[in-house]
Structure 1
Amino acid sequence: MKRLLVAILVLAAAPAFAAHTPPASLDAALAQGKRENKPVLVDFQAVWCYSCYFMASHVLNGKEWDDLNSKVVFYEADADKPADKAWMTKWNVHFLPTYVAIGPDGEELGRILAERPRDTFYKEVAGILSGDARLSKLKADAAKGSMAAVADVLDTYQLHYAGKEGMAWFATLPPMVRNVSDKDKRVALAKQRLLLLQAKDAKDDKGIVDAATKVLAGDIGCERPYVLDDLVGASKSQPEADRKTLLAPQKAPYESFLSTQVFTAAPACADQRSAVLTAADLDAALGDTAGEQAVLRKAIDLSREKLHGDLRSDRNLADNLRVYLVRAKAGDELDTLEKQLIAAWPDDYVYNYRYGRRLVESGKAAEALPYLDAAAKKAYGANRIVVATYQVKALRATNRDAEAKKVVAATTAAEGKAFPDQVKKLQESLTSAG
């Protein structure tokens, strides 16, 4: 999903069910679910995710949230913590937020990827918890010839990023089922989505272009930005004229998507950021600089209009504004906004870190250090190593190598056991060029 593994954040607001003591670990949550005969709903998120901002402030609250928490054991899994990161690997979770529902018997009931509008999220969760989405039942129905079940199983493999496994399962279906499957639009589309996953895993640009083009010809709703992003990326190696010929037909349907599902009073798609950035990338690939800036400025203006000058009113929207300004290269506006974000969220590491990092990357290492130092005092786990990496860059750029070594030593002592590979790279940064 677009830029999604580069952005997630745990909000400070206490959940509506704070009266109940939350499980201390995912193992404890699963044990509680088994003991109480309840499903476990795991929310995989982390400290730097705009999608998680949206869900926490717009969806995971209110009466529906209270009702849901009376039916499940809820656990917030932090992707920056080693134990929760291990579960992400075990369950093949690649995108944040991801919501995974596990039955009392330990079998996965289903999962939801990315942010959703409120109504959509609770309808999807209800369907998963009803038991109708249990994979073993769906596979049995698929083998009997249910095209709806075939599509549901293929979609489940899609959610697990298991393209090869999904197509391998499809090959086990009776010939009488496989032979008529392409006549069903949902099944045909689901197969192409799995072929797209396979091509991405193999880094096969030609395969990505072929599958993505076919997927984009279908009715994929809010998934359109992510698939178009795949197409734009995989086509980079093509000659410019060929690439424009390939991408040009995507312009009109994407503009329609933006006008009907994103730039509206009540957007059907929660992830406005990916939609806007993909539009800008498409325009850039087509050589339409004016169009690229126009869609970014529209998103900037709409974000400011909805915020009414109060960055704390909607953290997701405020962070979207920051990203649009970055993409538009609006340096002066971005400087002002990032300082305002630091003031609005003083207890978080993330905005001090982002501003400090940008200063380092623009050659202003000395100016960056106070912000990075402030971020380091609040960072933890994997994000502490990320902050330390830029502290080292800034210190070395200002000829303060002894202090850089102290930062590496302290970070290694605190996080080396949990994140050995990342800490090794941090240590190597003391001797690397640049």
Structure 2
Amino acid sequence: MLNRPLSSPAFVFRTRALCAAMATAALLVTAGLPAAQAAYSPPSSNVAWLPAGADADVDKAFAQGKAEKKPVLVYWGAKWCPPCNQLKATLFNRQDFAERSKSFVAVHIDGDLPGAQKLGARFKVRGYPTMILFSPDGQEITRLPGEVDAPQVMNVLQMGLAGGRPIKTVLDEARAGKPVSANEWRMLSFYSWDTDETQLVSPNDRPGLLAQLSAAAPASEAEASTRLLLKALAESDEGKGIKPDAATRERIKKLLADPVASRTLMDVLVNAAPDVVNALAPAAGPDRTALAGAMDSALQRLQADASLSRSDRVSALIARVGVARLDQPKEALRPKLPAPLLKEVRDMAAAMDKEITDGYERQAVISSAAYALGEAGLWTESDALLKSNLSKSHSPYYLMSHLGGNAKKQGKKAEALGWYEKAFNTSEGPATRLQWGSSYLTALVDMAPQDSAKIEKVAAQLFTEAAGQEGAFYERSARSLQKVGVELGKWNAKGAHQATLDRLRAQLAPVCGKLPAADGQKTTCEGLIKTRA
């Protein structure tokens, strides 16, 4: 499960990554919003989660961990985030997770808590969800995967709790050819590389590193080796990572034909199937046809596997659509797909909508089902599913953004802007509002650049809200504001809107002037709107 761009709310097919009714604290809504408040809710009611919205909260949790000789598990997420909701629906609510939580200190950082974005900078986390396990003395042991199914996450968590060494130490020794235990090879293969945020390796170097680790894993750790290989293949594009060869293709085809092995490696297959096929067979022809057929057969088994969550089964179906689209233009609105596959997409979307009763699961699955319909060219059905779920969602603004993305792809500019505006107006939480607002402004610049008054109004509102927030110039919130600055720069590329940008810069000046320079906030603020040469 991965955190997804608002314009296409489906699980991103790369190696990535993944409300209990206990209102225990209130969260002030940003400036510019009504006086209403959004309540903090823990990820589950069966675990003693410690809410953290400031450094002092985290320091207290680590002090508790050290005193009790317990590791610390930090979960960073957001109310609206579908993969976060999937964790709530399938992992955090498990009795074995609740029992296991007694052996660690569970910390929850809601991205919309006042100081959460500053904590994001402290822990170097950006994507929702991110789970990090720390030793009692504060060393990072590992980043837990959010895309694997709950039993596998529990196994990885147990390995980390059983005296696991810091993942950086394990990686360094594996690269140096030093002995690494079986559990440590598994930890490397399950590590959440997508939420690494360059802690261990830069994104550009990741495909090569994963390929190196796959080759270095001993024969006794075949599963870890293959998992690393699949992750390397998923990122091997534009000349990076593994070069396709017949031996590797045969190895993957053998894996796909094995029901047990493919089920074990389900998480990578359902999240990266089109990328894996494309990496091993980059051109249309017999190799691609054979590999795509083998992949589709494996994905069909996973799609029908009742032991998997509904989210994973929908992801398997989306992966099948992605594989079927490989030889068609990426921008095709109505790809040519087999009639049986189209029927399966329709039937599964309808079944998910009918069967799901849990609110967390609905938030996680419905957007994916709607994405599957869109990828299959079934836009009317996708829109209908999203609209019918607006009243059932605890974060309907997420679905509204998806509706905006659907309309934009179909060239329906006015409809798209209407949904993006409504999504922004109804969004809740400081960081969330900046993110949704930056998406709305981006849509305005892209689809209505002539509407100078609206663009200036939205930008000014975002800067006003940022001025009233504690963490607006850290991490995700800072990136949302930087996106606003970039879009305004594009809009003013020829200097036609310089007066508008000058007014916005004047609005920001006193805000920037009050920020500390030591931690980069002031520099971030002052760099939002570039001065024309």
TM-score per shorter chain, which class? 0.7 to 0.9
Contact preservation (8 Å) 2:345, 2:373: no
Is 1:229 aligned to residue 249 of structure 2? Answer: no
Q: Match for 2:442: what amino acid?
A: T
Equivalent of residue 388 in structure 1, options 431, 435, 441: 441
The equivalent residue for 2:152 is 120
Moved more, 212-221 or 292-301: 212-221
- Offset at residue 64 of structure 1 (A): 3.2
What is the distance in 2 between the residues matched to 1:307 and 1:243? 36
Contact preservation (8 Å) 1:44, 1:77: yes
C-alpha distance 133-293 of structure 1, shift in aligned 2 (>3 A): farther
Is 1:59 aligned to residue 91 of structure 2? Answer: yes
1:237-282 C-alpha deviation (Å, 9 max, x unpaired)? x5xxx42323222234323322332223222795234322221122
Equivalent of residue 376 in structure 1, options 392, 408, 424: 424
User: Which 5+ residue runs of structure 1 have no aligned equivalent?
Assistant: none
The equivalent residue for 1:98 is 130
Is 1:245 aligned to residue 253 of structure 2? Answer: no
The equivalent residue for 2:189 is 155
Q: Match for 1:244: what amino acid?
A: G
1:368-397 C-alpha deviation (Å, 9 max, x unpaired)? 45433332223313233113322455654x
What is the distance in 2 between the residues matched to 1:298 and 1:116? 24
C-alpha distance 168-304 of structure 1, shift in aligned 2 (>3 A): closer
The equivalent residue for 1:345 is 393
The equivalent residue for 1:278 is 319
What is the distance in 2 between the residues matched to 1:347 and 1:2? 17
**Equivalent residue pairs, number:** 419
> Equivalent residue of 2:108, what SS?
strand
The equivalent residue for 1:263 is 304
Contact preservation (8 Å) 1:372, 1:391: no
Q: Match for 1:266: what amino acid?
A: S
What is the distance in 2 between the residues matched to 1:401 and 1:157? 46
> Equivalent residue of 2:106, what SS?
strand
Moved more, 404-413 or 23-32: 23-32
1:119-178 C-alpha deviation (Å, 9 max, x unpaired)? 333333223212246548857997675662673464266744748589789999xxxx97
Q: Match for 2:63: what amino acid?
A: K
The equivalent residue for 2:242 is 207
C-alpha distance 391-351 of structure 1, shift in aligned 2 (>3 A): farther
Identity of aligned residues (%): 17
Contact preservation (8 Å) 2:156, 2:187: no
Is 1:406 aligned to residue 421 of structure 2? Answer: no
What is the distance in 2 between the residues matched to 1:104 and 1:405? 49
Equivalent of residue 484 in structure 2, options 402, 423, 432: 423
C-alpha distance 42-234 of structure 1, shift in aligned 2 (>3 A): same
- Offset at residue 117 of structure 1 (A): 3.3
What is the distance in 1 between the residues matched to 2:75 and 2:438? 23
C-alpha distance 59-130 of structure 1, shift in aligned 2 (>3 A): same
Contact preservation (8 Å) 2:234, 2:279: no
Contact preservation (8 Å) 1:8, 1:45: no
C-alpha root-mean-square deviation of aligned residues, in Å?
4.5
C-alpha distance 256-44 of structure 1, shift in aligned 2 (>3 A): farther
Equivalent of residue 24 in structure 1, options 42, 48, 53: 53
Contact preservation (8 Å) 1:276, 1:296: no
Contact preservation (8 Å) 1:17, 1:66: yes
- Offset at residue 432 of structure 1 (A): 6.4
Contact preservation (8 Å) 1:46, 1:80: yes
Is 1:74 aligned to residue 106 of structure 2? Answer: yes
Q: Match for 1:412: what amino acid?
A: F
Contact preservation (8 Å) 1:280, 1:292: no
Moved more, 93-102 or 331-340: 93-102
- Offset at residue 285 of structure 1 (A): 2.7
Q: Match for 2:489: what amino acid?
A: E
Contact preservation (8 Å) 1:117, 1:268: yes
- Offset at residue 102 of structure 1 (A): 0.9
- Offset at residue 422 of structure 1 (A): 0.9
What is the distance in 2 between the residues matched to 1:345 and 1:8? 16
Is 1:334 aligned to residue 369 of structure 2? Answer: no
Moved more, 25-34 or 78-87: 78-87
Q: Match for 2:45: what amino acid?
A: A
- Offset at residue 86 of structure 1 (A): 7.0
Q: Match for 2:440: what amino acid?
A: V
Q: Higher helix proportion, which one?
A: 1
Contact preservation (8 Å) 2:50, 2:61: no
Moved more, 350-359 or 86-95: 86-95
Contact preservation (8 Å) 2:144, 2:191: no
User: Which 5+ residue runs of structure 2 have no aligned equivalent?
Assistant: 12-17, 22-40, 256-260, 329-334, 428-432, 467-471, 495-533
> Equivalent residue of 1:243, what SS?
coil
Tell me which of the two structures has the higher relative contact order, counting C-alpha pairs closer than 8 angstroms and 6 or more residues apart: 2
What is the distance in 1 between the residues matched to 2:389 and 2:146? 24
> Equivalent residue of 2:53, what SS?
coil
> Equivalent residue of 2:420, what SS?
helix
Contact preservation (8 Å) 1:109, 1:131: no
The equivalent residue for 2:222 is 185
1:347-374 C-alpha deviation (Å, 9 max, x unpaired)? 5421222223433444444444543333
C-alpha distance 35-8 of structure 1, shift in aligned 2 (>3 A): farther
Equivalent of residue 130 in structure 1, options 144, 156, 162: 162
